Amino acid sequence: MNMADMIIHVHPELGMQERNKLERQLEGHIGIDCAEFSHRPHSHELMVKYDPEALQGMEILQMVRRLDPVASRIGL
């Protein structure tokens, strides 16, 4: 299995409950190994490790946008 990393920027005011919910939802999806928000100073950045053979980065971004419509992908 190949792994890729992606960083998604979410709105800085997205609450802790929403962030925890988002992490759990993503980690429960097939093909996603890990989803976690970075700690200070960039607590609005979500790091996602996933299998690009199982799903595409844009699919993950769309999942995040269900909770935060202005979320955007940051290139690595």
Domain ranges of the chain: 4-74
Q: What mean pLDDT comes out for the span 12-41?
A: 89
Between 64 and 74, name the one with better pLDDT.
Answer: 64
What's the token pair of residue 11? 């709105």
Between 23 and 43, name the one with better pLDDT.
Answer: 23
Given a cut of 80, whether residue 1 has pLDDT beyond it is no
Query: Rounded to the nearest 5 degrees, what angle is found at the Cα of 25, between the Cα atoms of 24 and 28?
Result: 85
DSSP code of residue 70:
T
Averaged pLDDT of the chain: 90
Given a cut of 80, whether residue 22 has pLDDT beyond it is yes
The model's confidence at residue 42, banded by pLDDT at 50, 70 and 90, is: low
pTM for this predicted structure: 0.87
Q: Which of 24, 25, 31, 29 is nearest to 55 (CA)?
A: 31
- Class level of CATH domain 4-74: alpha beta
